[in-house]
Amino acid sequence: MSTRTGMDRLAAYGLLGLPLAALGLPLTVYLPPFYAQMPGLNTGLVGVLIFAARLFDVVTDPLIGSASDRLQTRFGRRRPWIAAGTPVLMLAAWFLFVPPDNAGAAYLLVWSMLAYLGWTLIYLPYTTLGAEMSPDYDERSRITAWREGFFVLGTLVAIMLPAIAQRFIGGAAAGLAAIAVFLMVALPIATGLFLWRVREPDGVNASKIRWRESLDLLKSNRPFTRLLIAYLLNGAANGLPAALFLFFVTAILGGSEITGGIFLAIYFLSAVLGLPLWLKIGRNWSKHRLWCASMLWVSFVFIFTLTLGEGDYIGYGLICVLGGTCLGVDQAIAASIQADVIDEDTAAGGDGRAGLYFGLWGMATKLAFAIALGIAYPVLWLAGFDAGQDNDAVALWTLAVLYGLLPVAIKLGVVAMMWNFPLDRRRHAELQERIGRSERAAG
Q: CATH number for the domain including 251?
A: 1.20.1250.20
User: What is the distance, to the nearest Å, from the Cα of residue 249 to the centroid of all Cα atoms in its chain?
Assistant: 22
Report the candidate in 60, 12, 29, 19 with the shortest Cα–Cα distance to residue 372. Answer: 29
Indicate whether 208 belongs to any domain.
no
Indicate whether 381 belongs to any domain.
yes
Which residues, 6 or more positions from 397, have their beta carbon under 8 angstroms from its beta carbon? none
Query: Which pLDDT tens digits describe the chain residue by residue (443 residues)?
Result: 446 778 888 999 999 999 998 888 788 778 888 888 888 888 788 888 988 888 888 888 878 877 887 777 778 888 999 999 999 999 999 999 999 988 889 999 999 999 999 999 999 899 888 878 877 767 877 888 888 789 888 888 888 888 888 778 877 788 899 999 999 999 999 999 999 988 877 655 555 555 555 556 666 778 888 998 999 999 999 989 988 998 999 999 999 878 888 898 899 889 888 888 887 887 778 888 999 999 999 999 999 999 999 999 999 999 999 999 988 788 878 877 887 887 777 776 655 566 777 777 777 877 888 788 788 888 998 998 887 678 889 999 999 999 999 999 999 999 999 999 887 777 777 777 776 776 666 65
- 114 and 92 in contact (C-beta within 8 Å)? yes
Domain count across the chain: 1
Q: What is the DSSP letter of 212?
A: G
Half-sphere exposure of 88 (CA within 13 A, CB side): 18
Outline where 29-78 has alpha helix (H): 31-36, 43-70
Report the candidate in 327, 390, 332, 338 with the shortest Cα–Cα distance to residue 361. Answer: 338
Indicate whether 206 belongs to any domain.
no
- Domain membership of residue 349 as a residue range: 9-199+214-438
Indicate whether 264 belongs to any domain.
yes
Report the candidate in 189, 222, 194 with the shortest Cα–Cα distance to residue 129. Answer: 194
Indicate whether 4 belongs to any domain.
no
Indicate whether 204 belongs to any domain.
no
Indicate whether 3 belongs to any domain.
no
Indicate whether 263 belongs to any domain.
yes
